[in-house]
Amino acid sequence: MTRAAASLLSPAGALARSSRPVRVMIVDDSITARTVLSRIVEGEDDMIVAATANSAEQALGVLGGEQVDVILLDLEMPGIGGLAALPKILEVARGAQILVISSLTLDGAEPTVAALSQGAADTLPKPAVGQFTVPYRQNMIAKIRALGRSEPAAARPPRARARRMAREQAAIIAIGASTGGIHAMSQLFSTLPRGLRVPFLVTQHLPASFMPVFARQLEGFSGYPTSIARDRAVLRPGHILVAPGDGHLVAERKGETLIARISRTPAPSGFMPSVDPMFHSLGEVAGGQALGVMLSGMGRDGCEGAAHLVEQGGTIFAQDQESAAVWGMPRGVAEAGIAAAVLPPQEIALRIAASTGASQCK
């Protein structure tokens, strides 16, 4: 019996989802890259290379008959290429998550952020041959494992704390996200109506060099003016401020005015920027008028800040497990019992609109 077949069987002979290996597909036009990546994956007891392809066109054909959990996708290939084919790959991949591994991520953020906004869950730069270091391999394996191991569904829906927003309309919106969050954010903002007269704060785990591109793309699919937050910038209704890659975005009150502050105090989660300080500050400055949203992401960043925001009378919405690439950050909020609703991004957008007094979404 092969290693893959043996690991699929429980002692009782039944298929055990929790113990079955993560099935990985590698899509890269370089045979050397496919070989190196295959060796890294096959070196793990809980992973197998289920398929390989040397082009996006070939990958689409293979995916028609092969079920995989994670696709390692190069963006720059002959033919239609990985970036152009990404939406179609997601369509036929039946729930598989895409980890982009491409040298294009070293050359600029444009293709990387474009891939993330189209539905890729995460990215890694593809190093030159001979430079797949031990830390790089460990990081890659950790990402594959997180994307390929779906969180088991709770026996019962997470309990939701009674909403307090019914008493006060939301006056400021904060959105936190990590792995898979850019795609979720595009879904949310594409559904949200234009012209809401509230400030938006966004904390997305991304390197600092990616933030200008992310801000431009966010402005494109949201329809709201978007910029990277500067210290002491005034929070303006109908504008989105994005946390810089090297600091936490928090809100502070100066009389009747809310301003942005950039904090570099280490956060408990270890992330920079972190969602926790943003949510915590909103609870302090806006209380019952604060609304936080937790989208797809790995780990538990934002859970402590969300709890404080709710203690101050604010409301938290969390992305649901079915729509999230990684149900880590929203799961922490949902299972803590502090989410007023656990929904897909498009439905969260409808709740945001209602909370701010808007009656229709378009």
Instruction: Answer whether residue 12 shows pLDDT above 90.
Output: no
Please report, for residues 159, 216, 311, the alpha-carbon distance to residue 162 in angstroms, rounded to integers and kept in the order given.
Answer: 9, 36, 12
pLDDT class of 151 with cuts at 50, 70, 90: low
Domain coordinates in residue numbering, the chain = 3-148, 172-355
Structure tokens at 206: 């991304």
pLDDT class of 41 with cuts at 50, 70, 90: very high
> What's the confidence (pLDDT) of residue 1?
30
Lowest mean pLDDT among 142-151, 227-236, 257-266, 308-317: 142-151
Fold observed for domain 3-148: Rossmann fold (3.40.50)
Q: Which CATH superfamily is domain 172-355 in?
A: Methylesterase CheB, C-terminal domain (3.40.50.180)
Instruction: Answer whether residue 14 shows pLDDT above 70.
Output: no
DSSP string, 281-309: HHHHHHGGGEEEEE-SBSS-TTHHHHHHH
User: Quick one: average pLDDT of 45-70?
Assistant: 96
Structure tokens at 229: 């937050």
The Cβ of residue 345 has, within 10 Å, a number of other Cβ atoms equal to: 27
> What's the confidence (pLDDT) of residue 103?
83
Instruction: Answer whether residue 152 shows pLDDT above 50.
Output: no
Instruction: Answer whether residue 34 shows pLDDT above 70.
Output: yes
Which residues are part of the catalytic machinery? Answer: 178, 205, 301
DSSP string, 170-213: --EEEEEE-TTHHHHHHHHHHHSPTT--S-EEEEE---GGGHHH
For residue range 163-188, list pLDDT tens digits in order: 444 468 999 999 999 999 999 999 99
Q: What are phi and psi of 247, to 5 degrees?
A: -165, 155
DSSP string, 245-256: TTSEEEEEEETT
Percent of the chain with pLDDT over 90: 80
